[in-house]
Structure 1
Amino acid sequence: MKAVKGNKVYTITETEKDSYKKKGFDITDDEGNVVENGLGKSISYDKYKELEDKCTALEKENEELKLSAMTVDQLKAYAADRKVDLGDATTKEAILSKFKETK
């Protein structure tokens, strides 16, 4: 196994693993796959924000896909559970439109 941090790579034994992890080294197997991450890792706010935005977009897309796969009766029940006023919407397209309006 190896301890990797930046451009430093050390071949280590199992007994040395914890010591290197505490120093912030990632522990990899002999093929280079990360087995354990070093302590004290952080990411920049820009990277965090990028990932948060991506997560939000994927959650929205997932919700839309889930709703579009539902039947009219399922959509009505889903709307009732979430207290979404469907008004006079009775078709699948109209109900989906009401969900989009509420978001």
Structure 2
Amino acid sequence: MHNNLSLFMGRDCISASRLSMVTGISRASIHSFYHERTEKPDTKAVMKLCEHFNITLNEFFGINEKRRLNKCLEQSYKIFHQKKIQLQNRNKL
């Protein structure tokens, strides 16, 4: 499952080993999160990570980013569609 753990670990310059020691989450679990191999993340582990990095669940999972990207894609599609219609109309003349 997509998450931003690598982003926050990089931001805070913390290794998986150190994060494991600080949070009590196993290194194996942290590596699974880091490489996005976790399909059903453990709620307690995610909450501990959010607490450690002082972030929200939305920030951890990148939910707002997805919304922004979807809006951007929708706007791009609308512009593309409008240009396509303009070209079609021009070719009809």
TM-score by length of 2: 0.38
Determine which structure has the larger strand proportion and give its number: 1
Q: Which has the larger radius of gyration?
A: 1
Larger RCO: 1 or 2 (CA < 8 Å, sep 6+): 2
Determine which structure has the larger helix proportion and give its number: 2
TM-score by length of 1: 0.35
